Amino acid sequence: MNRRDLLALAGGAAFASGLAPIWTARAEGPSQRLVVVMLRGAVDGLNVVVPYGEEAYYEARPTIAIPKPGGDSGALALDGHFALHPALAALMPLWNDKKLAFVHAAGSPDPSRSHFDAQQFIENGTPGHPTTTDGWMNRVLAALPGARTSTDALSVGPTLPFILKGPIAVANLPLGPRAAQPMAIDQPQVASAFDKLYAGSGRQGEAYRQGREARTELIANMSSEEQMADNGAPPANALPAVADRLAGLMTRDRHIRLAFASLGGWDTHVNQGAESGQLANRLKPLGEGLAAFAKALGTDWDDTVVVVISEFGRTVHENGNHGTDHGHGNVIWLLGGKVNGGKVYGEWPGLAEGRLYEGRDLAVATDYRHVLTAVLERHLRLADPAMAKIFPAMPAMRGNLGQLLNA
């Protein structure tokens, strides 16, 4: 009997009152986890991992370049050529600990500069093919060995993103402020009536059952202080709190193998700022949130890889409004206990005029699927046949990405 059958038999009242321990009593499975964070709107990767060794960078960006390392507001040197945006200082301990790596000049080979098409191509795993009907993370889920549970994959937020769409059911939870406030469905009488109403009902019934289980788990796994705190006004910046809550869920529910979250607000066409300003204000909580997540995971951090990715990069030259327009290549971030970090990976095409994509953008030297393949093969231990389904018709891998992770 699987959990769902049990749930159906037990009915809502028993479920709501007495079955919570089942979540912690389940058998231990493989513990490698993958968390994907998508920065929607195209983050300016050249100001995240700054090629400070290249004068062309400073020439192209007279007002928005990040100053060279050294001095109070300078970028934080990663190596002799690249440096990190100072707003991401919270990540430097991970870098120094070799748990943080970057792959620069990476991205989708598709030339689209449309946010929506490019996001689709990152999420469906088939650049240039918009008609793919499921997301690559759902295909990963299908390839993972072991029994399925309702929380194998978790999306943070009120809607389900395409990257997790597909035949395998996925849970979603908003983990931000007020997530733990009491809801009608927590009441046994309400739950039992709606259980019957949604028995069957196709996709809607499936969504209902997923929602019920995820909700029960959230309540069971959230301390009473958290529930109290949630009744207050939302904090000014909720990101570190969300990271902390996700880490809490992942340490308590060992079945969560994949998690996904996305953040918007990176489309900096105007006044993006340099070492401070609009982009810096977005990066700072992200860096702090990721650092908090790593810390809160405790020993589970050793088995977790976090990938931070965006749909495309931004123009090398700043535009007429101290911002940047839609470009091509970007930087992919990797964090985790098994990451062979402290290194910027990928072939670097450079910013010389002749090296730019269509004369204006950082080229894509590394296909984003190759970065993900390295993670999926070496971390989640997926084999070639599975990979062929996850990223069909992918060009052959090149370069040193095999070393991204310690086996």
Which residues, numbered 38-67, are part of the site for another protein (CB under 8 A)?
40-41
- Considering the complex, state which of residue 187 and residue 403 has its C-beta at the smaller distance from another protein: 187
Among 2, 223, 321, 406, binds another protein (CB under 8 A): 321
Please work out the total of residues on this chain that contact another protein, with binding judged by CB under 8 A: 61
Task: Output the CA torsion sign for 395, 399, 404, 406.
Answer: positive
- Shortest gap between Cβ of 38 and another protein (angstroms)? 13
Please report how close the Cβ of residue 305 comes to another protein at its closest, in angstroms: 25
φ, ψ of residue 315 in degrees (nearest 5): -55, 145
Residue window 151-190: x/- pattern of binding to another protein, with contact defined by CB under 8 A: ------xxxx-x--x----xxxxx---x----xxx---xx
- Which of 61, 314, 326, 369 touches another protein by CB under 8 A? 326
Question: What percent of the chain is helix, strand and coil (3-state, nearest 5)?
Answer: 40, 15, 45
Contact (CB, 8 A) for 106 and 329: yes
CB of 337 to another protein, least distance (A): 30
Q: Count other Cβ atoms within 10 Å, centred on residue 281.
A: 13
CB nearer to another protein: pick between 69 and 248: 248
Helix axis angle, 202-221 relative to 188-197, nearest 10°? 160
CA angle 144, 4, 13 (to 5 degrees): 145
Phi then psi for residue 233, to 5 deg, are -70, 150
Q: Tell me which DSSP letter residue 353 carries.
A: G
238 binds another protein (CB under 8 A): no
What is the nearest approach in angstroms of another protein to the Cβ of residue 213?
A: 8
Q: Which of 96, 271, 281, 400 binds another protein (CB under 8 A)?
A: 271
Closest approach, Cβ 177 to another protein, in A, equals 9
Q: What distance in Å separates the CA atoms of residue 13 and residue 17, rounded to the nearest whole number?
A: 6
| Calpha distance 315→264 (Å, rounded) | 19
Q: Would you count residue 372 as binding another protein (CB under 8 A)?
A: no
Q: Does 193 bind another protein (CB under 8 A)?
A: yes
Residues 96-155 that bind another protein (CB under 8 A): 112-117
66 and 274 Cβ atoms separated by less than 8 Å: yes
Please, what's the b/e burial string for 313-333 (b: 16 or more CB within 10 A of its CB; e: otherwise)? bbbbbbeeebbbbbbbbbbbb
CB of 112 to another protein, least distance (A): 8
Contact call for residue 21 and another protein (CB under 8 A): no
Taking CB under 8 A as the criterion, the residue among 264, 298, 392, 395 binding another protein is 264
Q: Does 254 bind another protein (CB under 8 A)?
A: no
Tell me the C-alpha distance between 151 and 272, whole Å.
38
Look up tokens 């401070």; give the residue: 276
Sole binder of another protein in the list 22, 26, 142, 198 (CB under 8 A): 198
Residues near another protein (CB under 8 A) are 40-41, 112-117, 157-160, 162, 165, 170-174, 178, 183-185, 189-190, 193-194, 196-201, 203-205, 207-212, 214-215, 231, 233-234, 264-265, 267, 269-271, 319-323, 325-326, 358
